Amino acid sequence: MLSPTLEWRAGALHEEAAGLGTRRVLACWDGEAVPSRVVGHEDIWNIGLLPRVRQARFVYGLHPRVMRLLERDVEAARSRLRVPEPDTPVHGLERIAVAVKSRASERERVLIWEEDHHDIWQRHGINAVQYQTGKALLLALRLLCFTPYGDLAGTYCAADLPVTRQDRLTIDSFMADLAIDWRDASHLDLHLCG
């Protein structure tokens, strides 16, 4: 609500003017317009550092009632939004989608990792956002402990980590063990509306 939009455009980092909050957009998701925001995110920083990336943005959308609540002032939103009590039923899907489009061919590939909030709440006592975040951290820890990455000197992010073909197979194996299940979702036709 308060942070400015941060995104890569034409291969350069762009930040909206301070004080405006994140930019409101409509994201088209499988033909449905979803009220969303373009927010700053560490993944966008990492992806934007890749030399061939020209544009990158993180579009975040919640249930329409929550998005309307975020249109109000911070204190009004803070008074209504909270972590539910353990006996509160939680429903809906947490969906992370990544869309990549080739500038040369215009071909697009979309992957999605989807988890059911209610199922995760029942099995683990957390919501699916926490679950996916925790799984990503477990993947990072496995990479540090069980690959040569933990021995590398320096500071790396996903954009400059020296990933080999064998490393990709190891990462795929770790993701399968952790039930990090990215699936093809090119049929979703993800884009910003209008």
Same domain, 93 and 154: yes
- pLDDT tens, residue by residue, 54-107: 899 999 998 888 888 888 888 888 888 887 787 787 889 999 999 998 888 888
Q: Is residue 42 part of a domain?
A: yes
In this prediction the pTM is: 0.84
Residue with tokens 């004080």: 19
Q: Is residue 194 part of a domain?
A: no
Range of the domain at 21: 1-82
- pLDDT tens, residue by residue, 122-177: 899 888 999 999 999 999 999 999 999 999 998 888 788 888 899 999 999 999 99
Same domain, 66 and 101: no
Q: Is residue 139 part of a domain?
A: yes
Please give the tally of structural domains in the chain: 2
Q: Which one of 51, 82, 113 terminates a domain?
A: 82
Same domain, 102 and 183: yes
Same domain, 54 and 99: no
Q: What is the pLDDT of residue 20?
A: 67
Same domain, 74 and 155: no
